Structure 1
């Protein structure tokens, strides 16, 4: 071997040495806990938001998803199971899930979506300085209940009896129902309150409604009831029962109106916190952000089907109209 060849071989070895010792980039693991139904859109939005920031599922991170299917039972057990799977972060959807996940874990960072005030329920110390290991997004879901009921009255001025379901095991639901009672009394509406404990209970409750028993179906802030929405839309239409709910994503499936948020966009909004934590930021250094893009959606096809004339001012105010 010539002297020049020896130099070239040595130089090549120097170049290849770092590559030989380099380790493939670690796939970070995101544990996700949500309660199913329309909340799946929040997870999809979060993944889309991460992709926009350059993080691709399967290439940069893996999802460990747990769908609770509307049940509030054993959330802590699910959270502990994800910890045993060595996830790097938990993404929790809804206040109830986040409270349980916080209680069940000690060290793992948590990015949440909460419809209740995260300071009031004890998730964080303050919006600006969350403290501990949690941060995320708050969308004031309970605060929307009075306005949603007011919209129902505008849509159905003759409505006197309105049915609503609530999970007796969910304290957030009790708070929401209390808000609804006060507004209903002012509007001259009798709330027909039906307690439930599961999605199946909601479905059975709608199926059991007698003809003329209620003038409309109204959704307060209740996770179990919210998750039941896709399963009760057809039942309500069969009973010619107008539905006013809080999920814009369900509008095209046959409800009369929705006043709330697009949960896909909520997830996309939360993705920036997830990305920052995965990049090394500490949750306690990331202020909790408020998502306030509330929208009104109307389905005029359903209105025609039910013989309802939607006031023109309400149509002009709507952000989304299905004609």
Structure 2
């Protein structure tokens, strides 16, 4: 009897040891497979340091979604050093290397990436998925025809052109004396020209006259200091344009010298250079794009990932600049702002 009980316990112990062995084997195989899995390659195309905020948002967003650099993904980040003429060559080099996804951090970048992917498709019959982070007038650029079916490209549309009318509306609320607004735009740039149309439509409803100031080069921006005559307009409204957005220091100086308010597109614009701005934060655009990149890395096709609009847009007022150019703001006007910046608001 005792002998039988002893054998029974031996069998139980052997069974337990067998289960432990199988569990250890399964775990070893699982972690071995994960170890051998190669990190996914994420290529990032940026025009220059002006896109750094989007890049930081992208990287942090992917990390929070479980895609850690070095373990799960490897970045290949190339910058054109603010020289837009280099973007086509850089985009082609990235696409030719066939990464898992290409992230374009702006309109100039996605235009170059699209051309590179289409060239690659003609040569090899293969495409590379592209995610854009904050692009204006994506439909007019030919990135997609139907927002629900964006081919091999998807991303975050920033609505820069469409928001031009709302910017003018806020401008009028903050500066009620605004009768003539100078619209600064870059001819030949689709979002810039579309923004003018939206601003003109809003101006008719607001009873504001639009004075157009086309700028075709950084020299034209500099020339505004001399060509902008006194009483020519009561404020400047900026349209989407990489060149105009890169001219913050020039327009900041113009604003102070002429005592004229300038209304920009980005949160950082008002934080640094302008009287006010309304639009998405570049960092948040990068974080939002990270969600789409994560979906693509999980084997989703770009055609299955709809283009998104900004999660949030903000009105920012720089109270220091308002004081320096002589714009007096009431508490009710300041209440419009999502964010107030400057020493005077502390």
Q: Same fold (TM over 0.5)?
A: yes
Which residue does the alignment assign to 1:52? Answer: 64
Shift of 1:295: 1.4
Cα distance change on mapping 1:177 and 1:25 into 2, 3 Å: same
The reply to whether residue 204 of structure 1 matches residue 217 of structure 2 is no
Match status 1:257 vs 2:257: no
**How far apart in 1 are the matches of 2:233 and 2:82?**
27
Which structure's relative contact order is higher, taking Cα pairs within 8 Å and 6+ residues apart? 1
TM superposition score normalised by structure 1: 0.82
Q: For residues 312 and 282 of structure 1, what CA distance do their matches in structure 2 show?
A: 49
Structure 2 residue ranges without an equivalent (≥5): 1-20, 122-126
Structure 1 regions of 5+ residues with no counterpart?
1-10
Q: 1:127 aligns with which of 136, 147, 161?
A: 147
* Number of corresponding residues: 307
For residues 159-180 of structure 1, the C-alpha deviation after alignment (integer angstroms, 9 at most, x for no partner) is 3443332222312211111222
Residues 277-321 of structure 1: CA distance to partner in whole angstroms, max 9, x if unpaired?
Answer: 223222122222222412111111221222211243331121111
Measured in 2, the distance between the counterparts of 1:25 and 1:119 equals 37
Instruction: Go from structure 1 to structure 2 and tell me whether the alpha carbon gap of 1:282 and 1:209 turns closer, same or farther (over 3 Å shift).
Output: same
**Match of 1:101?**
113
For 1:250 and 1:219, how far apart are their aligned partners in 2?
11
Spell out the pairing of 1:1-323 with structure 2 (5 A cutoff).
Answer: 25-36=37-48, 38-59=50-71, 60-67=73-80, 69=82, 71=84, 73=85, 75-105=87-117, 106=121, 107-130=127-150, 132-198=151-217, 200-201=218-219, 203-210=221-228, 212=230, 213-322=232-341, 323=345
Deviations, residues 169-218 of structure 1 (Å, cap 9, x unaligned):
312211111222233344444433232334x2354234434562443221
What is the distance in 2 between the residues matched to 1:142 and 1:51? 31
1 CA distance for matches of 2:33 and 2:153? 36
**Normalization by structure 2: what TM-score?**
0.77
What's the Cα RMSD here? Answer: 3.1
